[in-house]
Amino acid sequence: MSSFFNLQSEVIIGNLTQTGLSNWLNNHYAECKKVIFVDSNTMEYCLPLLINFIDGLENAEIIEIPSGEENKTMEICFSVWESLTEYEFTRSDLFICLGGGMICDMGGFISSLYKRGMNCIYIPTSLLAMVDASIGGKTGIDMGPYKNHLGVFSFPKKVYIDIDFLNTLPQREIINGWAEMLKHALVADADHYTALENFDVKDSIIPLDWVEKSLMIKHEIVESDPKESGRRKLLNFGHTIGHAIEGVLLNSEHSMDHGLAVAHGILVEAKISRLLNRLTSEEFERIEKSITKTFELRKFDEDFISKLPLLMRQDKKRKDNKFRFTLLSGIGSGEIDVVVDESVVFDALQVLL
């Protein structure tokens, strides 16, 4: 077991039953109410592990929401706040998020606003949540097609990372998290990228030390810039385009997982980096190869591509009416706040046709 502090959260990595969670609950929350926030997947596959093996959660209330990004809405938040109110939760009771990125983002948002903020812990169960969503205090929900448009920075007291939960995931979910792992390596660690690009994630189990490496890259970046005034924007690589794709498809019958959308975004934003001569053609080809070998990329048409700029205008990095991207100036080296002409963005988007 290992642990460290990320901003205001203690992050504990290890088997959940051996992390001292029961003792901590007993020492600090024995007399308090607890609620476990799950979606329909984690209700079925993860909640039994928690209830059966962690003392102190036998009487916890369970709040379940439907799984799927289309449910990351204010309406669902409102229904959770109503349930907390009916159960007479106070701000000193405990809100436990058990799930992937959506549950951590949304549960963090819900708990941070309820009665001006109640105690919260995260138990991330997806690779994406372990290496990304649970670290760094970003919480949020979507507003229509705009991803994480409403949110606050708020820090859980504890984040418990137990990679055994990855065994409950379908391969599609592992691949979603892989996109964020590739992103971390591309913006910050060339050697780690070399290891990842030569790995076949579809047929192998990801080593624990790579998961730790990835979350430590995120940890180090957010510690240096908690509120994203500068360096943290590195973590947005692949997301300006990725969020726009996800947003256009949200609520359609062809909606796209976040990780897969980010994979498309990485490809397009690597292409922008290449068009601006920040990447060599060999570097771009390495990235293209690692994306296409793992992700089943979709082909889009001109009509779809023409819809993306409208959503990109709401990108949280946007300033002075200009498109600003995090790009690569080499593998392992991200560069923030690069102003890019719309024509270059359009040229790069052609890789999606």
Binding site for ligand GLY (CB under 6 A): 132, 136, 138, 232, 235
Give the CA angle between residues 297, 161, 130 to the nearest 5°: 20
Do residues 151 and 105 make contact, with C-beta atoms less than 8 angstroms apart?
Answer: yes
Residue 60 or 221 having the CB closest to ligand GLY: 221
Helix ranges (DSSP H) in the chain: 21-29, 40-45, 47-53, 74-86, 101-113, 127-128, 171-188, 190-197, 208-224, 239-249, 258-275, 281-294, 302-312, 342-349
Beta bridge partners of 36: 62, 96
Residue 56 or 247 having the CB closest to ligand GLY: 247
Distance of alpha carbon 104 from the chain centroid: 9
Write down the least CB distance from residue 282 to ligand GLY, Å.
28
Do residues 137 and 7 make contact, with C-beta atoms less than 8 angstroms apart?
Answer: yes
Residue 298 to residues 84, 141, 182, 187, 305, Cα–Cα distance (Å): 41, 25, 19, 24, 12
**Residue 314: exposure state from Cβ atoms within 10 A (0-12, 13-18, ≥19):** middle
Write down the least CB distance from residue 166 to ligand GLY, Å.
19
Give catalytic residue positions: 116, 138, 180, 218, 228, 232, 236, 239, 243, 258
Q: What is the DSSP letter of 202?
A: T
Tokens 């799950």 correspond to: 38
Residue 232 or 286 having the CB closest to ligand GLY: 232
Q: How would you classify the pairing of strands 9-13 and 146-150?
A: unpaired
Structure tokens at 200: 């076949």
Write down the least CB distance from residue 228 to ligand GLY, Å.
6
3-state secondary structure of 298: coil
Residue 158 or 232 having the CB closest to ligand GLY: 232
Write down the least CB distance from residue 24 to ligand GLY, Å.
25
Q: How many CB atoms are located within 10 Å of the residue 2 CB?
A: 9
Residue 50 or 311 having the CB closest to ligand GLY: 311
Write down the least CB distance from residue 132 to ligand GLY, Å.
5
Write down the least CB distance from residue 128 to ligand GLY, Å.
10
